[in-house]
Structure 1
Amino acid sequence: MKFIHTADLHLDSPFRGLDEMPAQIWQRVHQSTFTAFERIVDAAINQQVDFILIVGDIYDRDHHSAEAEDFFVRQCQRLAKQQIPVYLSYGNHDYQPVTEQIDSLPNNVHVFGNQVETKTLTLADDQTVAITGFSYGKRWLVEDQVSKFPEKETADWQIGMLHGDISQNNPDQDHYAPFTLPELLQKRYDYWALGHIHKHQVLNEEPLVVYPGNPQGRHKNEDGQHGYYLVQSNSDKLTAEFKPVAPIEWCEIDAHLTHDQTVDSLIEMLLHRGEAEDGFKMIAFNVHLTDQVNALTKKLLANGTILERLQENLSEKGDYQWWPYQLNLLKGTALPKMTDLDQEYWDQSAQDVFNQDAVIDLTDKLAKYGFIADQLADPSLVEQLRYEASQKLGEGDHDEN
């Protein structure tokens, strides 16, 4: 048995805030979610997989564009010609009532209804595969859905499809079909195909419990490689191999600015750093400053002039192998000198304040909005807040001296 596990395609993602760029780059960015899924379909055909699982959020919004739907249908038709079935469920972004087979989709696409149900597939070697899942009928599903999944019975392989998040034991946060790992394992399934979290990760090895992440990162907090998992049987066990497909990768690059560096030499350094990257990347430069950097350079960095000149330089060359979209100024300040007691208070306070629960509590009702909740769930946000707080403390100490 061989199949592909993907999720969170987010076709037609708007990529907000990235409109100030050459048309050629914007077109590449806008098409990236489509290209990533097309590559997955290419792989399915080339690998001759038995089926594909798509675990929620095929579209970026519940009211998606006709372009996105037409593209998805055409890709499914490509799979139909190769007799590759597709099993899909809708998630919290593309939630909808599912009452019967959707007319626009070809017959090889099997859509899970709004209640947990099981679909059975017989492979060419007569092995049977039972696939259990459900689709979101509304944006939030606060109830535990796993309790409704049957335990494994007579099928050779039992797979669970679950678009959800690990329970935080907090009703104000558990909005997306909350579950716990132990309750998944109790079902004795051979594979749990998860969706919703945009970073690929294996939560459990035996049996495999896997988040494939989204095939294309949509913003700077979704950096690194993105793709899908190719799952294959080996005797009575399954193995999962991550396969990157994202046409665009978001990344951050540290650049240290020395006191004698001119604006032109800084731009040349940034150009060199960008050109050294493999594959097309959207790059945010973290420029580390020291007090010795001259005032004019600091002003040009702060008001965006250097970023604009960097972008203009690339536009003049017309060879878009990468694109700088952000330039962050990081001052080389340190925390004020502390006594042992002060350090103890800072460490304890930082632990209490800079954690996801505290940040979500601070945002109060804003956390109820899906797109904000997604950002708050990113661990890198907490680390960034802690870093910025330490920078402010360091600045305060410097000013007093």
Structure 2
Amino acid sequence: MKQISFIHAADLHLDSPMVGLKHLPANILSRVRESTFAALERLTAAAIDHNVDFVVLSGDLYDGEDRSLRAQSRFRNEMQKLLQKDIPVYVIHGNHDHLDGSWVHLDMPANVHFFGSEVEMKTFHTKRGESVHLYGFSYQHRHILDKRVDDYQKVEPADFHIGLLHGNEGGKTDHDNYAPFSIKDLYEKQFDYWALGHIHKRTILSENPPIIYPGNLQGRNKKETGIKGCYYVTLTEFGAEKEFIETSDVVWDEISIDASSLHTFQEILHLCQLTIERLRKSGIGTLLTINLKNININDSKEKQVLNTDLYELLLDNENDEESFVWTVQLNLEDQLRFDRKNLINEADFYTELFATIDEYQIFDDALAPLFEHQLARKYLTRLTETEQKELIEKAEKLLIGLLYQ
């Protein structure tokens, strides 16, 4: 029976700056900034442990078009480990590490094969004699908006055909619509596997044939929650088997805690501590956002302590934990509930306030100092419609809460 095995990963974003985390203790901050490299090392170890035939990396190896020397050097070191085990690596570049960037080049080991800016096919033969055709292209520049999937053409003969594509399934509004495609487009190519990249959330678009986004190798902000990793894939003439391999060294997590049944600071502290212990993962650090909802404390002193001391107490001793759970954000929400109609009946002011909120359309102007900043704009992406709506809702709640105080 003909059979091949490989690792499929994407969106490594090596040396990501992890912006906005300078408030972390030095040792935790250092570990977070090293996490993309630690994830790469786990990928390499998995490829060696499983004795795979090859590795495919579907775009955005590097976080920026300048491809830092540190990132290139660390990537080269890991590829040399695979070279020693005679494991080749097939790479496409995506929108973040496109070919038009400017960087100082470090040569890569001979086992690393890069695809050019036009769709091309590379041939691989296993030691057992199976033949594999791999198809893909690298982004020439950051914005590839045309439908490049049409350029993928199956070339026979080969035992297996694998497509590498860094792009966006049509219709997804939360991501830039780079190299768009539909599942139907990929079906029509009659490949045995599609190794996708660009979407950072692990997603299986199809089981047969497998059309898979493995997600990124390491979460980089609070929107990229949960364990990240890659897929170990075995293909035979009868189908595919896949196993998700965890590579995250640091995990982002978010949890909501209902405090409506709690009436003292001690009860709330205890519940938060229990929650933190439940979320602790052996050998992995966690950066946690806690949304403490329906706070029902009436005692003014206890309420003051909740606002001033709870956060610090939750951080106690976490600095010394290898499997730390560091609370990066604590959101307190009391049981304030409001009905727009009732508020409008209370005062005409609310009619004007809600109208202003509903008609707010100047996000670009409000955020211009950030998005036009010479340094900040390199690390920012435009807010989606969903994110804009969430910000407006939070602002409304904050305003009403302050007015009621």
- Relative to the length of structure 2, the TM-score reads 0.81
Q: Which residue of 2 aligns with 1:202?
A: 204
Q: Which residue of 2 aligns with 1:345?
A: none
Most deviating of 161-170 and 226-235: 161-170
Cα pair distance change 1:25/1:393, threshold 3 Å: closer
RMSD between aligned residues: 3.5
Deviations 1:341-385 (A, max 9, x none): xxxxxxxxxxxx99xxxx9996599899785547638x7x47845
Provide the secondary structure at the position in 1 that maps to 2:279: coil
Instruction: Within 5 Å, give how 1:267-346 maps onto structure 2.
Output: 267-279=269-281, 280-290=285-295, 292-295=297-300, 298=303, 305-315=309-319, 321-334=324-337, 336=339
Does the aligned pair in 2 maintain the 1:120–1:131 contact within 8 Å? yes
Deviations 1:249-282 (A, max 9, x none): 11112233456312x6544443332123231211
Q: Which residue of 2 aligns with 1:39?
A: 42
Among 235, 253, 256, which residue is 2:255 paired with?
253
Q: Distance in 2 between matches of 1:147 and 1:230?
A: 27
Q: Distance in 2 between matches of 1:332 and 1:175?
A: 40
Count of aligned pairs between the two proteins: 374
Instruction: Within 5 Å, give how 1:196-235 maps onto structure 2.
Output: 196-235=198-237
Provide the secondary structure at the position in 1 that maps to 2:121: strand
- Cα shift at 1:39: 0.4
Does the aligned pair in 1 maintain the 2:149–2:185 contact within 8 Å? yes
Provide the secondary structure at the position in 2 that maps to 1:276: helix
- Cα shift at 1:289: 3.5
Cα pair distance change 1:152/1:272, threshold 3 Å: same
Letter in 2 for 1:190: D
Q: Which residue of 1 aligns with 2:96?
A: 93
Which consecutive unaligned segments of at least 5 residues does structure 1 have?
340-352
Letter in 1 for 2:89: V
Whether 1:177 and 2:179 are equivalent positions in the alignment is yes
Does the aligned pair in 2 maintain the 1:152–1:187 contact within 8 Å? no
- Cα shift at 1:174: 5.5
Q: Distance in 1 between matches of 2:240 and 2:322?
A: 43
- Cα shift at 1:240: 2.1
Letter in 2 for 1:376: T
Does the aligned pair in 2 maintain the 1:335–1:393 contact within 8 Å? no
Q: Distance in 2 between matches of 1:224 and 1:36?
A: 14
Most deviating of 286-295 and 48-57: 286-295
- Cα shift at 1:238: 1.7
- Relative to the length of structure 1, the TM-score reads 0.81
Provide the secondary structure at the position in 2 that maps to 1:26: helix
Cα pair distance change 1:331/1:155, threshold 3 Å: farther
Does the aligned pair in 2 maintain the 1:73–1:106 contact within 8 Å? yes
Does the aligned pair in 1 maintain the 2:264–2:297 contact within 8 Å? no
Deviations 1:26-75 (A, max 9, x none): 12111111111100100100100000000111011111321111000000
Q: Distance in 1 between matches of 2:99 and 2:31?
A: 30
Instruction: Within 5 Å, give how 1:15-164 maps onto structure 2.
Output: 15-97=18-100, 104-164=107-167
**Percent identity of the aligned residues?**
34
Cα pair distance change 1:299/1:196, threshold 3 Å: farther
Does the aligned pair in 2 maintain the 1:36–1:216 contact within 8 Å? yes
Q: Distance in 2 between matches of 1:82 and 1:374?
A: 42
